[in-house]
Structure 1
Amino acid sequence: MFRRRDHAVVHRFAAACRVGSSAAIRSLLAAEVVAVSDGGGRVPAALEPVRGPAQVVRCLTALLRPDLALTVEAVNGQPGVVLRDTGRPAGPVVAVLSLRVTGAKVTDVWIVLNPDKLRHWRTGE
């Protein structure tokens, strides 16, 4: 269950991603952070878990583009980060990030890029 402090960490994480600040993102990651991405073989994604702050920051910043809008929304009942392509009509969702927060740090990042799994987000169902 997320606590109020966890919500604040997710919002700071989203803000750091929004401005593309590697240093700010890194400051929110635990030393043992792990990121797992799912492209479903349809979009580029890391095939193995990405471990450590420097590598996770590289993974995250590779996703970020100026034409993406980042919002904090409920993802599986918890606050997460949703990336929408504002350069296309209706701003389709291109990625959804779920975060595990321990203390004041992000310890796990799950990145869904698989278009089939994002269909629900695209239609708003």
Structure 2
Amino acid sequence: MESMRRLADACAAGDLGAVEPLLAADVVAVCDGGGLVPAAADPVCGSGDVALLLIGVLGRPGTDLSVESVNGLPGLVLRRTDGTAVAVVAARCGAAPLSTLWIVLNPAKLNGWHRR
């Protein structure tokens, strides 16, 4: 839980230097935009590229990033100020360094995450 909290804080602040050490050197991030929203079509590999991806996705102005249980493990949920979920990040494990991340951006899969 602590590593996800640190990741959330670093992404929200846009702090690349704080995000990278939380990721394994060979980390892989897989995005699911469902063809409905922009998302990386191929897996993103390596701590530098994944850190940039995370900051780009999770560091959006006018949003709230929270640490929540995702598939039974600590994860991240990004919501607009109206409570609409725009991204959910799940990790293979909740401890740093994180080695595998799944980033769901597909609006059709985020309905259960809205808070209205």
Runs of 4+ in 1 over 4 A off after TM superposition: none
Which has more radius of gyration?
A: 1
Provide the rounded CA distance (Å) in 2 between the counterparts of 1:101 and 1:65.
25
The CA RMSD over aligned residues, in Å, is 1.6
Provide the rounded CA distance (Å) in 2 between the counterparts of 1:102 and 1:30.
13
What is the 5 A alignment of 1:1-125?
Answer: 7-63=1-57, 64-86=59-81, 90-101=82-93, 104-122=96-114
Provide the rounded CA distance (Å) in 2 between the counterparts of 1:76 and 1:120.
13
User: What secondary structure sits across from 2:114 in the alignment?
Assistant: helix
> Does the 8 Å CA contact 1:37/1:45 hold for their aligned counterparts?
yes
> Does the 8 Å CA contact 1:37/1:110 hold for their aligned counterparts?
yes
User: What secondary structure sits across from 1:32 in the alignment?
Assistant: strand
With 59-68 and 98-107 compared, the bigger mean Cα shift is at 98-107
What is the Cα deviation at residue 91 of structure 1?
2.1
Gaps of 5+ in 2: none
Provide the rounded CA distance (Å) in 2 between the counterparts of 1:18 and 1:75.
19
Letter in 2 for 1:54: G
With 38-47 and 60-69 compared, the bigger mean Cα shift is at 60-69
Pairs aligned (count): 115
Gaps of 5+ in 1: 1-6
Letter in 1 for 2:78: L
Provide the rounded CA distance (Å) in 2 between the counterparts of 1:102 and 1:118.
21
Output one character per residue of 1:54-108: Cα deviation in whole Å (capped at 9) or x when no partner. Answer: 110121122121211100011111110000112xxx3200000001248630111
